[in-house]
Structure 1
Amino acid sequence: MDARMINFSNQKMWNPLLRFLHLYVISYVYLFIFTSQFSPLEGVYKNGVLWLCKNIFRHPKVEYIMMTGSGDTTLDYWVVVVNVLFAAVAAIVILLIDKKQRTFKDLHWFTVVVVRYYVAMIMLSYGFAKLHDGQFPVNSISRLEERVGDMSPMGMVWAMMGASKGYTFVSGLLEVIGGLLLLFRRTKTFGALFSMTVMINVALLNFFYDVPVKIFSSHIVLFCLFIVSGDAMALYRFFVLHQPSQLRFQKRTSDKKWKRVTLISLKCLVIAFFIFSSSSMLFYTPPVVPMEGAYIVDKFIINNQEIPCNDSIGWKKILISSPSRTKVILNNDSIKAFQSVLDTEKKALMLRKIDHQELYAYLHYNTQKDSIIFTGNKGRDSVKIKTIRKKKEDYPLNKRGFHWINEYPVNK
């Protein structure tokens, strides 16, 4: 009698708590989806959070930095804090309003569907971007000339991925497979486990190589966990206890044919939209860079006087890696970046200081055997620069290629 009373009292105590946690997670999921990356409401919501930071939380130094390329700004972390608070408030309000003490199973099922499609969209978007020179393009001349010790950890990741088209392609293919599996109910659990495995590796790279997508990638991993949470016991019985188990399968409840046809048609349209919008990167063609290469200076002559290699005003290398950007490495290893215009018809290279209209140098170039000679003016001085061109395929990182057999490791 006493034991049953204690059990009954525990049920009364835990039932509201479990319902709160259930509603809290669901509320947080929707807050994140509707206010994070890819959402049209992101800007509006961030401005609202910014107002809260400055007027309620008293953090006036927080800024909304648009087009920063980082998803881990101070404001982004404040968005997470506000979402945590709002989700708790939303859960409490729903519990107070709900007099029937419902379990919200249908809401949970619908939320899983929303999360499935959201994660699938993300996986397809990032996956297709890796299949063809999208997220990780082939290393530029500037990157190839950068010393490993001078790279940022994030730059190291981009250099590693850009060095191997095969590895990048397979990484993208795995993300695409995970996204496709999530689009169908019969494969959703496998798709969530598959995508979570792939995204854990992505999140670890983001955390330990300081890539500023830590918040977003962590949430994608958690969303995959949310998708499989309903099958947690079945998975535990099968993988740990080695007992027969069966995953839950939510059948369509539409009893009329026109409803089923409408749902199937809508789903096909959504899948087609996801694939079409995400696969646009497959048709991206990197711009052709005329005269691309690292031009190693053999002789630098200014006003008919050859500048020795230990003189800081002399040039060491000219790096042409973009149609509109050129870098010059001086003899003291300092780097100057310029806006550039390369006229292949006139065989001329024009350099301007970035954010200035001032002309820095105007050079004509011509090829003589294995060397390229630039002649023209740098400011008021006449210059003649004899160089040797080094192309992308001349770098050991690009020349080595793949070998089935290696008698000794090539690690230098």
Structure 2
Amino acid sequence: MVTGVLAQREPIVDVEPEVVKRWHSVVRVLFRFGFVVLGIGMAGVWLLHALLRTFGVPQETVSEVAKWTALHPFTDWVGTQIFDVRIDYTVTGSGDTAAKWVAVFTLLLVAVPVTAAWSVIDRRRPNYVRLYEWFRLLLRISLVSALLLYGMIKVLPSQMSFNLERLVEPFGHMSPMAVLWAQSSLSEPYEMALGAAEVAAALLLILPVTAGLGSVLAVIVALQVLLMNLTFDVPVKLFALQLFLYVAVLAAPDIVRIVRALLGQAVEARPQVPLLSTPRGGRILLTAQVLMGVWLLGATTVEAYDGWHTYGNARPKSPLYGIWNVTVYSIGSEEVPALVDFRESRPNGGIPNATDRFRRIIFDIPQGITMQLLDDSLVSFPARIDTDQHAITLSKDTTHQWKLATFSYVQPQPDRLILEGSLGGRPVRMQLDQVDLAQYPAVSRGFQWVQATPYFR
């Protein structure tokens, strides 16, 4: 019986809106407010942005559309007059910027008079049964888009990609989000399983016949994502809350039916109002849903595949890939001792100079290198490695117009590098010895079916 409830394979009774009893006036007002906020202001806006990206609209255009759908310039006024915050719509990678939070507050403010006007104009309507079904369809498609996007970048691991520097960075130096990313990236099967659950929920949500099962699975997925974002301080809390609201609205009727079935109560066929008045219209709408789902699946797969090979776990590796200990460091002919003074600050804001003594240099991606100082802090910079000329250029910017250091290198042995060049205008020479990655249990331990004792160190 539970399976029948989830999959909705039992007979569905079509009911015309006029037959359904009159909704309570409070329910009608709450629905109007929810439709404006969740439907149009959140789910509709997300779906618009997602479709623009899948159709290849330039990011600058998408950002400009996002600015106006955030109710600019009213949001700017709310930010300055109510919160004393200057709204900046610059894309930073964070979903919890002040601009986004203020935009949601502005949306709630705007929804109040819109709901009031709608309630006055449409006060005689007994219910919104058919519009409610369209509302659910909008939430479903928006969820399909979001779950496919976040799911595919886990199935093709690129959201939490493995970085070599995490092996030498002290645990206490990492932020909670970095800890979450590091532990997830250490196990590709785990990350892929998380993504597979999101993709499965999205695919089930595409068709009405499986949407009930998909919405219940999406509740579990969305709750897990929300908990991780809240407990590990991931700056996507606002959007995670929105997704959870979508799935809560979608799954609530089916969860109630599941609970009733588990309690041994009779579960009747669920009345369903047709979205369109004719069978042909219903078939066209169903076909459109399938085509939309296929399009979103294809677009997100391509995007995730590109990300997987660009910055994910399938990305190219540096030609000097590895962790290298700095065993000899000299400025001119004078060797710099391995000393560190934690009381001294670095006035240059992280830019290395010749007097800095490095503990390690990490070559991970071809476009950059990471240096670990003697206090275990990490600094990363754009880099260019010319294997033909055996040269390394360290810069402030990715175009390498502002060079920080240039080195020539030789590799007398596979596990040894000699770097000579200029850093901060002074001659520097370094000897690097490669670290055997097998010494790190995080990557070498592997999986064991049989263990005499817990391996916990």
Q: TM-score, normalised by structure 2?
A: 0.79
What is the letter of the counterpart of residue 74 of structure 1? A
What is the letter of the counterpart of residue 387 of structure 2? T
Match in the other structure for 1:164: 187
Distance 1:148 1:99, change over 3 A: closer
Alpha-carbon distance in 1 for matches of 2:117, 2:203: 36
Match in the other structure for 2:230: 207
1:186 partnered with 2:209 = yes
Out of 94, 99, 115, which is 1:70 matched to? 94
1:105-254 alignment runs, 5 A limit: 105-137=129-161, 139-231=162-254, 233-239=256-262, 241-246=263-268, 248=270, 250=272
Q: CA deviation at 1:88?
A: 3.0
Match in the other structure for 1:310: 339
Moved more, 353-362 or 320-329: 353-362
Out of 57, 78, 81, which is 1:53 matched to? 78
Please state whether the residue corresponding to 1:122 is helix, strand or coil. Answer: helix
Match in the other structure for 2:285: 263
Distance 1:213 1:54, change over 3 A: closer
Alpha-carbon distance in 1 for matches of 2:137, 2:185: 35
Match in the other structure for 1:3: none
Moved more, 306-315 or 213-222: 306-315
Please state whether the residue corresponding to 2:372 is helix, strand or coil. Answer: strand
Moved more, 264-273 or 247-256: 247-256
Please state whether the residue corresponding to 1:402 is helix, strand or coil. Answer: coil
Distance 1:402 1:258, change over 3 A: same
Conserved in 1, the CA contact under 8 Å of 2:329 and 2:431? yes
Out of 294, 315, 327, which is 2:323 matched to? 294
Please state whether the residue corresponding to 2:142 is helix, strand or coil. Answer: helix
Alpha-carbon distance in 1 for matches of 2:413, 2:214: 58
1:28 partnered with 2:37 = yes
Out of 292, 296, 301, which is 1:274 matched to? 296
Match in the other structure for 2:453: 408
Q: CA deviation at 1:271?
A: 1.5
Structure with greater contact order relative to length (CA < 8 Å, sep ≥ 6)? 2
Instruction: Provide Cα deviations, 1:339-383, integer angstroms capped at 9, x if missing partner.
Output: 311011122212234586244232222132532222334355443
Please state whether the residue corresponding to 1:373 is helix, strand or coil. Answer: strand
Q: CA deviation at 1:326?
A: 1.7
Please state whether the residue corresponding to 1:327 is helix, strand or coil. Answer: strand
What is the percent sequence identity of the aligned residues? 23
Match in the other structure for 1:327: 370
Please state whether the residue corresponding to 1:103 is helix, strand or coil. Answer: coil
Moved more, 82-91 or 181-190: 82-91
Alpha-carbon distance in 2 for matches of 1:264, 1:335: 53
Matched positions, count: 398
Please state whether the residue corresponding to 1:367 is helix, strand or coil. Answer: strand
Conserved in 1, the CA contact under 8 Å of 2:186 and 2:443? yes
Out of 331, 335, 339, which is 2:382 matched to? 339
Instruction: Provide Cα deviations, 1:181-210, integer angstroms capped at 9, x if missing partner.
Output: 111112212211111111101100101111
Please state whether the residue corresponding to 1:328 is helix, strand or coil. Answer: strand
Distance 1:330 1:21, change over 3 A: closer
What is the letter of the counterpart of residue 336 of structure 2? I
Alpha-carbon distance in 1 for matches of 2:257, 2:375: 65
Alpha-carbon distance in 1 for matches of 2:420, 2:392: 10
Q: CA deviation at 1:25?
A: 1.6
Unmatched tracts of structure 1, length 5 or more: 1-10
* CA root-mean-square deviation: 2.7
Moved more, 206-215 or 338-347: 338-347
Moved more, 100-109 or 377-386: 377-386
Instruction: Provide Cα deviations, 1:272-325, integer angstroms capped at 9, x if missing partner.
Output: 111101111135311332212211011223323332222663332112222222
Alpha-carbon distance in 2 for matches of 1:93, 1:135: 43
Match in the other structure for 1:398: 443
1:343-358 alignment runs, 5 A limit: 343-354=386-397, 357-358=402-403
Unmatched tracts of structure 2, length 5 or more: 1-20, 50-61, 310-314, 341-354
Match in the other structure for 1:363: 408
Moved more, 343-352 or 198-207: 343-352
Distance 1:314 1:37, change over 3 A: farther
Conserved in 2, the CA contact under 8 Å of 1:360 and 1:379? yes
